[in-house]
Amino acid sequence: MDRPTRCPSGGLLLDVRDEGPSHGAPVLLLHGFPQDRTCWDRVTPVLHDAGLRTLAPDQRGYSPGARPTGRGAYRLELLVEDAVAVLDAAGLERAHVVGHDWGGIVAWALAAHRPERAASLTVASAPHPRALARSLARSGQGLRSAYVGAFQLPRAPEALLRPRLGELLHRSGLPAAEAARYAARMEEPGALTGALNWYRALPLSRLRTGAVDVPTTYAWGNRDLALGRRAAELTAEHVRGPYRFLELDAGHWLPETRPELLARLVVERAGDPGGTAGRG
Residues annotated as catalytic (active site), given as ranges: 101, 199, 252
Segment (H or E) for 165? helix 165-171
DSSP code, position 212: B
Strand ranges across the sheet with 243-248: 2-9, 12-19, 53-58, 26-30, 95-100, 118-124, 216-221, 243-248
Written as one letter, the residue type at 201 is: A
Q: In angstroms, rounded to a whole number, what is the distance separating the alpha carbons of residues 57 and 13?
A: 10
Give CA angle at 128 (126, 134), nearest 5°: 110
Residue 46, φ and ψ in degrees, nearest 5: -65, -40
The answer to whether the beta carbons of residues 125 and 252 sit under 8 Å apart is yes
Is 280 buried (19+), middle (13-18) or exposed (0-12) by CB count in 10 A? exposed
Q: If DSSP states are collapsed to H, E and C, what string results for 58-120?
A: ECCCCCCCCCCCCHHHHCHHHHHHHHHHHHHHCCCCCEEEEEECHHHHHHHHHHHHCHHHEEE
